[in-house]
Protein backbone atom coordinates (compact mmCIF):
# COMPACT_ATOMS: atom_id res chain seq x y z
CA UNK A 1 0.00 0.00 0.00
CA UNK A 2 1.26 3.52 -0.79
CA UNK A 3 0.15 6.71 0.91
CA UNK A 4 0.35 8.49 -2.47
CA UNK A 5 -2.40 6.19 -3.86
CA UNK A 6 -4.60 6.72 -0.81
CA UNK A 7 -4.31 10.51 -1.10
CA UNK A 8 -5.27 10.32 -4.78
CA UNK A 9 -8.20 8.03 -4.00
CA UNK A 10 -9.61 10.42 -1.41
CA UNK A 11 -8.86 13.46 -3.56
CA UNK A 12 -11.00 11.87 -6.31
CA UNK A 13 -13.90 11.35 -3.91
CA UNK A 14 -13.55 7.60 -3.46
CA UNK A 15 -14.08 5.70 -0.21
CA UNK A 16 -11.10 4.38 1.78
CA UNK A 17 -11.32 0.84 3.15
CA UNK A 18 -10.76 -0.06 6.81
CA UNK A 19 -7.43 -1.68 5.85
CA UNK A 20 -6.30 1.49 4.08
CA UNK A 21 -7.26 3.66 7.07
CA UNK A 22 -5.51 1.27 9.49
CA UNK A 23 -2.38 1.39 7.34
CA UNK A 24 -2.41 5.19 7.11
CA UNK A 25 -2.83 5.70 10.88
CA UNK A 26 -0.35 3.07 12.06
CA UNK A 27 2.33 4.18 9.58
CA UNK A 28 1.79 7.85 10.42
CA UNK A 29 2.02 7.16 14.18
CA UNK A 30 5.25 5.23 13.61
CA UNK A 31 6.70 8.20 11.70
CA UNK A 32 6.84 6.35 8.36
CA UNK A 33 4.39 8.69 6.62
CA UNK A 34 5.61 12.31 6.52
CA UNK A 35 3.52 15.24 7.70
CA UNK A 36 3.26 16.69 4.18
CA UNK A 37 1.50 13.58 2.89
CA UNK A 38 -0.84 13.41 5.88
CA UNK A 39 -1.58 17.15 5.48
CA UNK A 40 -2.60 16.50 1.87
CA UNK A 41 -4.82 13.65 3.03
CA UNK A 42 -6.48 15.85 5.68
CA UNK A 43 -7.21 18.49 3.05
CA UNK A 44 -8.65 15.84 0.72
CA UNK A 45 -10.88 14.63 3.59
CA UNK A 46 -11.86 18.22 4.32
CA UNK A 47 -13.21 18.67 0.77
CA UNK A 48 -14.43 15.14 -0.04
CA UNK A 49 -15.64 14.23 3.46
CA UNK A 50 -15.80 10.74 4.96
CA UNK A 51 -18.63 8.22 5.13
CA UNK A 52 -19.82 6.94 8.53
CA UNK A 53 -17.91 3.69 7.89
CA UNK A 54 -14.70 5.56 7.13
CA UNK A 55 -15.14 7.79 10.22
CA UNK A 56 -15.73 4.73 12.42
CA UNK A 57 -12.61 3.03 11.01
CA UNK A 58 -10.55 6.19 11.56
CA UNK A 59 -11.80 6.48 15.16
CA UNK A 60 -10.93 2.89 16.02
CA UNK A 61 -7.52 3.10 14.33
CA UNK A 62 -6.66 6.23 16.34
CA UNK A 63 -8.06 4.76 19.60
CA UNK A 64 -5.86 1.69 19.14
CA UNK A 65 -2.74 3.67 18.22
CA UNK A 66 -1.59 3.76 21.87
CA UNK A 67 -2.61 2.52 25.32
CA UNK A 68 -6.20 1.36 25.83
CA UNK A 69 -7.10 1.83 29.49
CA UNK A 70 -8.55 -1.32 31.03
CA UNK A 71 -11.11 -0.43 33.70
CA UNK A 72 -12.33 -4.00 34.30
CA UNK A 73 -10.73 -3.96 37.80
CA UNK A 74 -13.42 -1.44 38.79
CA UNK A 75 -16.78 -2.88 39.71
CA UNK A 76 -19.96 -1.57 38.14
CA UNK A 77 -20.69 0.57 35.11
CA UNK A 78 -18.08 3.26 34.53
CA UNK A 79 -19.47 6.45 33.02
CA UNK A 80 -17.32 9.15 31.45
CA UNK A 81 -18.25 12.67 30.46
CA UNK A 82 -16.75 14.97 27.87
CA UNK A 83 -17.39 18.59 27.00
CA UNK A 84 -16.44 20.15 23.69
CA UNK A 85 -15.41 23.15 25.78
CA UNK A 86 -16.37 26.74 26.29
CA UNK A 87 -16.02 29.81 28.48
CA UNK A 88 -16.61 29.30 32.21
CA UNK A 89 -17.06 25.56 31.72
CA UNK A 90 -16.24 24.16 35.14
CA UNK A 91 -18.78 21.36 34.82
CA UNK A 92 -16.53 18.41 35.67
CA UNK A 93 -15.54 19.94 39.04
CA UNK A 94 -19.14 19.97 40.31
CA UNK A 95 -20.72 17.22 38.23
CA UNK A 96 -18.32 14.34 38.91
CA UNK A 97 -18.67 14.45 42.74
CA UNK A 98 -22.46 14.84 42.39
CA UNK A 99 -22.70 11.74 40.24
CA UNK A 100 -20.15 9.79 42.33
CA UNK A 101 -22.18 10.62 45.46
CA UNK A 102 -25.14 8.92 43.71
CA UNK A 103 -23.12 5.71 43.31
CA UNK A 104 -21.74 5.99 39.77
CA UNK A 105 -18.04 5.13 39.33
CA UNK A 106 -16.06 8.00 37.86
CA UNK A 107 -12.74 6.94 36.34
CA UNK A 108 -11.80 9.91 34.23
CA UNK A 109 -8.75 10.98 32.30
CA UNK A 110 -8.49 14.69 31.79
CA UNK A 111 -6.25 17.20 30.10
CA UNK A 112 -4.81 20.65 30.54
CA UNK A 113 -5.26 21.97 27.04
CA UNK A 114 -4.83 25.32 25.43
CA UNK A 115 -7.47 27.96 25.81
CA UNK A 116 -9.06 30.76 27.76
CA UNK A 117 -8.65 29.03 31.10
CA UNK A 118 -6.91 25.80 31.93
CA UNK A 119 -8.50 22.38 31.59
CA UNK A 120 -10.07 20.40 34.43
CA UNK A 121 -6.66 19.37 35.74
CA UNK A 122 -5.40 22.95 35.99
CA UNK A 123 -8.58 23.95 37.79
CA UNK A 124 -8.26 21.08 40.26
CA UNK A 125 -4.68 22.14 40.98
CA UNK A 126 -6.19 25.22 42.65
CA UNK A 127 -6.44 22.89 45.67
CA UNK A 128 -2.99 23.14 47.24
CA UNK A 129 -1.13 19.83 46.84
CA UNK A 130 -3.66 18.24 44.45
CA UNK A 131 -2.05 15.97 41.87
CA UNK A 132 -3.37 14.05 38.89
CA UNK A 133 0.01 12.49 38.20
CA UNK A 134 -0.94 9.21 39.78
CA UNK A 135 -0.21 5.65 38.70
CA UNK A 136 -2.92 3.57 37.05
CA UNK A 137 -2.84 1.33 40.15
CA UNK A 138 -3.60 4.30 42.43
CA UNK A 139 -6.28 5.45 39.99
CA UNK A 140 -8.15 2.12 39.84
CA UNK A 141 -7.79 1.59 43.58
CA UNK A 142 -9.17 5.02 44.41
CA UNK A 143 -12.21 4.55 42.16
CA UNK A 144 -12.98 1.24 43.89
CA UNK A 145 -12.47 2.84 47.31
CA UNK A 146 -14.25 6.22 47.02
CA UNK A 147 -15.96 6.05 43.62
CA UNK A 148 -14.03 8.83 41.89
CA UNK A 149 -10.60 9.62 40.48
CA UNK A 150 -9.31 11.92 37.76
CA UNK A 151 -5.96 11.10 36.23
CA UNK A 152 -3.81 13.30 33.98
CA UNK A 153 -2.98 11.89 30.60
CA UNK A 154 0.07 10.02 31.83
CA UNK A 155 -0.63 7.04 29.59
CA UNK A 156 -0.05 7.23 25.86
CA UNK A 157 -3.71 7.68 24.92
CA UNK A 158 -4.44 7.94 21.17
CA UNK A 159 -0.98 9.23 20.08
CA UNK A 160 -2.17 9.25 16.45
CA UNK A 161 -4.74 11.87 17.40
CA UNK A 162 -2.16 13.96 19.24
CA UNK A 163 0.01 14.07 16.09
CA UNK A 164 -2.90 14.56 13.70
CA UNK A 165 -4.60 17.26 15.76
CA UNK A 166 -1.36 19.29 15.86
CA UNK A 167 -1.05 18.90 12.10
CA UNK A 168 -4.69 19.88 11.45
CA UNK A 169 -4.23 22.90 13.66
CA UNK A 170 -1.59 24.37 11.32
CA UNK A 171 -3.12 23.26 8.00
CA UNK A 172 -6.65 24.70 8.36
CA UNK A 173 -8.23 21.24 8.55
CA UNK A 174 -9.64 21.23 12.08
CA UNK A 175 -13.25 22.06 11.28
CA UNK A 176 -14.37 18.91 9.52
CA UNK A 177 -17.15 17.01 11.28
CA UNK A 178 -15.69 13.51 10.76
CA UNK A 179 -12.21 14.57 11.86
CA UNK A 180 -13.47 16.33 15.01
CA UNK A 181 -15.76 13.43 15.95
CA UNK A 182 -13.03 10.83 15.37
CA UNK A 183 -10.51 12.89 17.33
CA UNK A 184 -12.73 13.30 20.41
CA UNK A 185 -14.16 9.78 20.37
CA UNK A 186 -10.81 8.03 19.82
CA UNK A 187 -9.60 9.48 23.14
CA UNK A 188 -12.84 8.63 24.94
CA UNK A 189 -12.89 5.05 23.64
CA UNK A 190 -9.24 4.50 24.63
CA UNK A 191 -10.07 5.80 28.13
CA UNK A 192 -12.12 2.69 28.76
CA UNK A 193 -15.53 3.77 30.15
CA UNK A 194 -18.62 1.66 29.47
CA UNK A 195 -20.83 4.68 28.87
CA UNK A 196 -20.08 8.19 27.65
CA UNK A 197 -22.11 11.38 28.11
CA UNK A 198 -21.09 14.19 25.76
CA UNK A 199 -21.78 17.87 26.33
CA UNK A 200 -21.72 19.42 22.86
CA UNK A 201 -21.67 23.21 23.07
CA UNK A 202 -23.07 25.62 20.54
CA UNK A 203 -22.88 29.43 20.20
CA UNK A 204 -20.29 32.19 20.05
CA UNK A 205 -18.06 30.60 22.72
CA UNK A 206 -18.13 27.11 21.19
CA UNK A 207 -16.37 25.22 18.46
CA UNK A 208 -19.70 24.71 16.73
CA UNK A 209 -21.14 28.19 16.37
CA UNK A 210 -24.30 26.98 14.62
CA UNK A 211 -26.85 24.79 16.38
CA UNK A 212 -27.35 22.54 13.35
CA UNK A 213 -23.59 21.82 13.26
CA UNK A 214 -23.60 20.98 16.98
CA UNK A 215 -26.45 18.50 16.41
CA UNK A 216 -24.64 16.96 13.44
CA UNK A 217 -21.43 16.57 15.51
CA UNK A 218 -23.42 15.09 18.41
CA UNK A 219 -25.09 12.54 16.11
CA UNK A 220 -21.77 11.58 14.57
CA UNK A 221 -20.14 11.03 17.99
CA UNK A 222 -23.11 9.07 19.35
CA UNK A 223 -22.93 6.85 16.27
CA UNK A 224 -19.20 6.27 16.84
CA UNK A 225 -19.68 5.43 20.52
CA UNK A 226 -22.46 2.97 19.80
CA UNK A 227 -20.50 1.42 16.94
CA UNK A 228 -17.76 0.68 19.50
CA UNK A 229 -20.30 -0.89 21.89
CA UNK A 230 -20.42 1.99 24.40
CA UNK A 231 -23.68 3.51 25.53
CA UNK A 232 -23.37 7.10 24.30
CA UNK A 233 -25.62 10.13 24.82
CA UNK A 234 -25.06 13.75 23.84
CA UNK A 235 -26.58 16.86 25.40
CA UNK A 236 -26.44 19.94 23.17
CA UNK A 237 -26.07 23.02 25.36
CA UNK A 238 -25.82 26.78 24.93
CA UNK A 239 -22.44 28.52 24.89
CA UNK A 240 -23.57 31.82 23.42
CA UNK A 241 -22.74 33.48 26.74
CA UNK A 242 -20.36 32.25 29.45
CA UNK A 243 -21.58 29.44 31.70
CA UNK A 244 -22.29 30.69 35.23
CA UNK A 245 -20.60 33.88 36.39
CA UNK A 246 -17.00 32.81 37.02
CA UNK A 247 -14.28 32.60 34.37
CA UNK A 248 -10.77 31.71 35.59
CA UNK A 249 -9.41 28.62 37.27
CA UNK A 250 -9.69 29.10 41.06
CA UNK A 251 -12.71 31.38 40.60
CA UNK A 252 -14.47 28.60 38.72
CA UNK A 253 -13.57 26.10 41.43
CA UNK A 254 -15.19 28.41 44.00
CA UNK A 255 -18.32 28.60 41.86
CA UNK A 256 -18.40 24.80 41.50
CA UNK A 257 -18.14 24.49 45.31
CA UNK A 258 -21.02 26.95 45.77
CA UNK A 259 -23.03 24.86 43.31
CA UNK A 260 -22.41 21.74 45.39
CA UNK A 261 -23.76 23.68 48.38
CA UNK A 262 -26.92 24.49 46.41
CA UNK A 263 -25.98 28.14 45.80
CA UNK A 264 -24.76 27.88 42.21
CA UNK A 265 -25.81 30.01 39.24
CA UNK A 266 -29.08 28.88 37.70
CA UNK A 267 -27.68 27.97 34.25
CA UNK A 268 -24.67 26.09 35.58
CA UNK A 269 -26.79 24.17 38.10
CA UNK A 270 -29.30 23.24 35.39
CA UNK A 271 -26.53 21.94 33.13
CA UNK A 272 -25.01 19.83 35.94
CA UNK A 273 -28.46 18.40 36.70
CA UNK A 274 -29.14 17.50 33.05
CA UNK A 275 -25.72 15.94 32.42
CA UNK A 276 -25.85 14.25 35.83
CA UNK A 277 -29.26 12.77 35.04
CA UNK A 278 -27.96 11.38 31.74
CA UNK A 279 -24.97 9.87 33.56
CA UNK A 280 -27.19 8.22 36.18
CA UNK A 281 -29.41 6.79 33.44
CA UNK A 282 -26.41 5.53 31.45
CA UNK A 283 -24.98 3.92 34.61
CA UNK A 284 -28.37 2.38 35.46
CA UNK A 285 -28.42 4.12 38.86
CA UNK A 286 -31.79 5.69 38.04
CA UNK A 287 -34.74 4.36 36.11
CA UNK A 288 -36.01 7.64 34.74
CA UNK A 289 -35.13 11.32 34.58
CA UNK A 290 -37.35 12.24 37.52
CA UNK A 291 -35.65 9.73 39.80
CA UNK A 292 -32.22 10.91 38.57
CA UNK A 293 -33.07 14.55 39.30
CA UNK A 294 -34.34 13.61 42.78
CA UNK A 295 -31.13 11.72 43.52
CA UNK A 296 -28.96 14.64 42.37
CA UNK A 297 -30.97 17.16 44.40
CA UNK A 298 -30.69 14.79 47.36
CA UNK A 299 -26.88 14.65 47.34
CA UNK A 300 -26.69 18.45 47.19
CA UNK A 301 -29.18 18.98 50.00
CA UNK A 302 -27.57 16.37 52.27
CA UNK A 303 -24.04 17.70 51.65
CA UNK A 304 -22.97 14.29 50.30
CA UNK A 305 -21.79 15.77 46.97
CA UNK A 306 -19.63 18.38 48.72
CA UNK A 307 -18.17 15.72 51.04
CA UNK A 308 -17.41 13.58 47.96
CA UNK A 309 -15.43 16.47 46.46
CA UNK A 310 -13.46 16.83 49.72
CA UNK A 311 -12.80 13.08 49.83
CA UNK A 312 -11.65 13.15 46.20
CA UNK A 313 -9.33 16.14 46.75
CA UNK A 314 -7.78 14.49 49.81
CA UNK A 315 -7.29 11.13 48.06
CA UNK A 316 -5.17 12.90 45.42
CA UNK A 317 -2.98 14.76 47.89
CA UNK A 318 -4.90 18.05 47.99
CA UNK A 319 -5.88 20.22 50.92
CA UNK A 320 -9.54 19.26 51.41
CA UNK A 321 -10.09 22.04 53.94
CA UNK A 322 -10.14 24.44 50.94
CA UNK A 323 -13.46 22.82 49.95
CA UNK A 324 -14.98 24.21 53.17
CA UNK A 325 -12.89 27.40 53.34
CA UNK A 326 -12.42 28.76 49.82
CA UNK A 327 -10.17 31.59 51.06
CA UNK A 328 -7.45 28.89 51.00
CA UNK A 329 -7.68 28.75 47.18
CA UNK A 330 -5.35 31.01 45.14
CA UNK A 331 -6.56 34.62 44.98
CA UNK A 332 -5.38 37.58 42.92
CA UNK A 333 -3.81 40.73 44.41
CA UNK A 334 -5.93 43.28 42.53
CA UNK A 335 -9.68 43.37 42.09
CA UNK A 336 -11.44 46.07 40.13
CA UNK A 337 -15.00 46.65 38.96
CA UNK A 338 -15.68 47.07 35.24
CA UNK A 339 -18.31 49.79 35.04
CA UNK A 340 -20.78 50.00 32.19
CA UNK A 341 -20.55 53.03 29.95
CA UNK A 342 -24.00 52.34 28.56
CA UNK A 343 -27.52 51.76 29.79
CA UNK A 344 -29.97 49.11 28.59
CA UNK A 345 -30.61 45.39 28.48
CA UNK A 346 -27.64 43.15 27.82
CA UNK A 347 -28.51 41.83 24.37
CA UNK A 348 -25.40 39.79 23.65
CA UNK A 349 -22.11 38.86 25.26
CA UNK A 350 -19.53 37.84 22.66
CA UNK A 351 -18.58 34.75 24.56
CA UNK A 352 -15.16 33.93 23.16
CA UNK A 353 -14.09 37.56 23.69
CA UNK A 354 -14.74 37.12 27.42
CA UNK A 355 -12.58 34.02 27.26
CA UNK A 356 -9.80 36.09 25.70
CA UNK A 357 -10.12 38.59 28.59
CA UNK A 358 -9.26 35.74 30.97
CA UNK A 359 -6.40 34.64 28.72
CA UNK A 360 -5.01 38.20 28.68
CA UNK A 361 -4.95 38.20 32.49
CA UNK A 362 -2.78 35.06 32.39
CA UNK A 363 -5.57 32.58 33.20
CA UNK A 364 -5.06 30.42 30.10
CA UNK A 365 -2.32 29.03 27.88
CA UNK A 366 -1.40 30.46 24.50
CA UNK A 367 1.20 27.76 23.90
CA UNK A 368 1.75 24.36 25.53
CA UNK A 369 4.71 25.83 27.41
CA UNK A 370 2.86 28.81 28.98
CA UNK A 371 2.37 28.76 32.72
CA UNK A 372 -1.05 29.52 34.03
CA UNK A 373 -2.05 31.95 36.78
CA UNK A 374 -4.75 30.06 38.68
CA UNK A 375 -5.92 33.10 40.66
CA UNK A 376 -6.94 35.53 37.89
CA UNK A 377 -10.20 35.87 35.97
CA UNK A 378 -13.57 37.55 35.97
CA UNK A 379 -16.82 37.35 37.88
CA UNK A 380 -19.70 38.56 35.73
CA UNK A 381 -22.52 40.49 37.38
CA UNK A 382 -24.68 40.93 34.29
CA UNK A 383 -25.75 38.35 31.76
CA UNK A 384 -28.02 38.38 28.70
CA UNK A 385 -31.44 39.85 29.53
CA UNK A 386 -30.26 41.82 32.61
CA UNK A 387 -30.85 45.56 32.79
CA UNK A 388 -27.77 47.72 33.35
CA UNK A 389 -27.54 51.38 34.33
CA UNK A 390 -24.58 53.46 33.20
CA UNK A 391 -21.91 53.29 35.91
CA UNK A 392 -23.16 49.94 37.23
CA UNK A 393 -20.65 47.09 37.51
CA UNK A 394 -20.70 44.53 34.69
CA UNK A 395 -18.02 42.38 36.26
CA UNK A 396 -15.23 42.19 38.81
CA UNK A 397 -11.84 41.58 37.33
CA UNK A 398 -9.23 39.64 39.35
CA UNK A 399 -5.66 40.36 38.26
CA UNK A 400 -2.05 40.31 39.38
CA UNK A 401 -0.72 42.80 36.84
CA UNK A 402 -2.06 46.30 36.26
CA UNK A 403 -1.16 46.37 32.56
CA UNK A 404 -2.84 43.05 31.83
CA UNK A 405 -5.86 44.27 33.77
CA UNK A 406 -6.18 47.36 31.56
CA UNK A 407 -5.88 45.33 28.34
CA UNK A 408 -8.45 42.84 29.52
CA UNK A 409 -10.87 45.53 30.68
CA UNK A 410 -10.77 47.35 27.33
CA UNK A 411 -11.55 44.15 25.49
CA UNK A 412 -14.28 43.23 27.97
CA UNK A 413 -16.22 46.44 27.38
CA UNK A 414 -16.36 45.71 23.62
CA UNK A 415 -17.81 42.24 24.23
CA UNK A 416 -21.10 43.51 25.70
CA UNK A 417 -23.93 44.65 23.37
CA UNK A 418 -26.99 46.51 24.68
CA UNK A 419 -30.54 47.09 23.47
CA UNK A 420 -33.53 49.11 24.64
CA UNK A 421 -35.82 46.10 24.71
CA UNK A 422 -35.36 42.94 26.74
CA UNK A 423 -33.94 40.21 24.46
CA UNK A 424 -35.27 36.70 24.56
CA UNK A 425 -33.08 34.40 26.64
CA UNK A 426 -31.82 31.38 24.66
CA UNK A 427 -32.65 27.93 26.03
CA UNK A 428 -29.68 26.37 27.86
CA UNK A 429 -30.45 22.82 26.73
CA UNK A 430 -31.04 22.61 22.99
CA UNK A 431 -31.68 18.88 22.83
CA UNK A 432 -30.48 15.38 23.58
CA UNK A 433 -29.21 12.86 21.05
N1 LIG B 1 -11.30 18.65 20.25
C2 LIG B 1 -10.58 17.55 19.93
O3 LIG B 1 -10.15 16.81 20.82
N4 LIG B 1 -10.35 17.30 18.63
C5 LIG B 1 -10.80 18.07 17.62
O6 LIG B 1 -10.56 17.77 16.47
C7 LIG B 1 -11.54 19.21 17.97
C8 LIG B 1 -11.78 19.47 19.29
Q: From the CA of 180, give the closest atom in ligand 1.
A: 6
370 noted as active-site residue: no
> Measured in angstroms, how far is the CA atom of residue 401 from the centroid of ligand 1?
32
> Measured in angstroms, how far is the CA atom of residue 218 from the centroid of ligand 1?
13
Count the neighbouring beta carbons within 10 Å of the beta carbon of residue 397: 25
**DSSP assignment string, 197-219:** EEEEEESTTSSB-SHHHHHHHHH
Predicted local confidence at residue 354, as pLDDT? 95
Predicted local confidence at residue 403, as pLDDT? 96
Nearest C-alpha neighbor of 193 from the set 79, 92, 97: 79
> Measured in angstroms, how far is the CA atom of residue 85 from the centroid of ligand 1?
10
pLDDT digits (tens, 9 = 90+) for 25-76: 999 999 999 999 999 999 999 999 999 999 999 999 999 999 898 898 898 8
Largest CA distance in the chain: 68
Helix, strand, or coil (residue 392): coil
Length of the chain as a residue count: 433
Helix, strand, or coil (residue 238): strand
161 noted as active-site residue: yes
Distance between alpha carbon 29 and the CA centroid of its chain, in Å? 25
The pLDDT > 70 percentage for the chain reads: 99
168 noted as active-site residue: yes
Predicted local confidence at residue 430, as pLDDT? 96
Predicted local confidence at residue 169, as pLDDT? 84
Residue-wise burial string across 34-64, b where 16 or more C-beta atoms lie within 10 A, e elsewhere: ebebbbbbbbbbbeeebeeebbbbbbbbbbb
Q: 10, 78, 82, 123: which is the annotated catalytic residue? A: 82
Q: Whose CA is nearest to atom 3 of ligand 1?
A: 184
Write out residues with Cβ below 6 Å of ligand 1. Answer: 165, 174, 179-180, 183-184, 207
**Which alpha helices (H) appear in 240-342, and where do they start and end?**
249-260, 266-282, 289-301, 304-315, 321-324
Determine contact, residues 268/259, Cβ cutoff 8 Å: yes
pLDDT digits (tens, 9 = 90+) for 102-144: 999 999 988 776 667 778 989 999 999 999 989 888 999 999 9
Count the neighbouring beta carbons within 10 Å of the beta carbon of residue 123: 26
What is the spatial distance between Cα 98 and Cα 20, in angstroms, rounded to a whole number? 44
For the chain, give the mean pLDDT: 94
Q: Whose CA is nearest to atom 2 of ligand 1?
A: 184
Determine contact, residues 347/399, Cβ cutoff 8 Å: no
pLDDT digits (tens, 9 = 90+) for 148-196: 999 987 778 899 998 998 899 889 998 899 999 999 999 999 988 899 9
* Residue 67 exposed, middle or buried by CB count within 10 Å (0-12, 13-18, 19+): middle
- pLDDT (mean) for 258-284: 97
231 noted as active-site residue: no
Parallel, antiparallel or unpaired: strands 231-238 and 334-339: unpaired
Q: From the CA of 183, give the closest atom in ligand 1.
A: 4
What is the spatial distance between Cα 214 and Cα 225, in angstroms, rounded to a whole number? 16
231-238: strand order across its sheet: 79-83, 195-202, 231-238, 429-432
- pLDDT (mean) for 392-417: 96
Q: From the CA of 207, give the closest atom in ligand 1.
A: 8
Reported as a pLDDT band with limits 50, 70 and 90, residue 276 is very high
110 noted as active-site residue: no
Q: Whose CA is nearest to atom 1 of ligand 1?
A: 184
Q: Whose CA is nearest to atom 7 of ligand 1?
A: 180
Q: From the CA of 168, give the closest atom in ligand 1.
A: 6
Predicted local confidence at residue 113, as pLDDT? 66
Predicted local confidence at residue 125, as pLDDT? 94
pTM for the model: 0.91
> How many angstroms separate the Cα of 22 from the Cα of each of 58, 61, 64, 180?
7, 6, 10, 18
Amino acid sequence: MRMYDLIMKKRNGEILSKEEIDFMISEYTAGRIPDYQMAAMMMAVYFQKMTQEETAALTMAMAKSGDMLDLSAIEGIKVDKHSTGGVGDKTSIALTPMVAACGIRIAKMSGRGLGHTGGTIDKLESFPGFSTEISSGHFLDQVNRIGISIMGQTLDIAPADKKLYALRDVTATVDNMSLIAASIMSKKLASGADAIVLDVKTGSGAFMKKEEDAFALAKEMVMLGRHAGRKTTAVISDMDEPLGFAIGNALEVKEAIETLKGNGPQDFTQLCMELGAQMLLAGKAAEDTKQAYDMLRGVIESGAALRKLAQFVEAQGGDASAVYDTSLLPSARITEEILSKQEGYVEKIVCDEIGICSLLLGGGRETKESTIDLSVGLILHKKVGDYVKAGESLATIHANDKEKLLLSKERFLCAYRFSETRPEKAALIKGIV
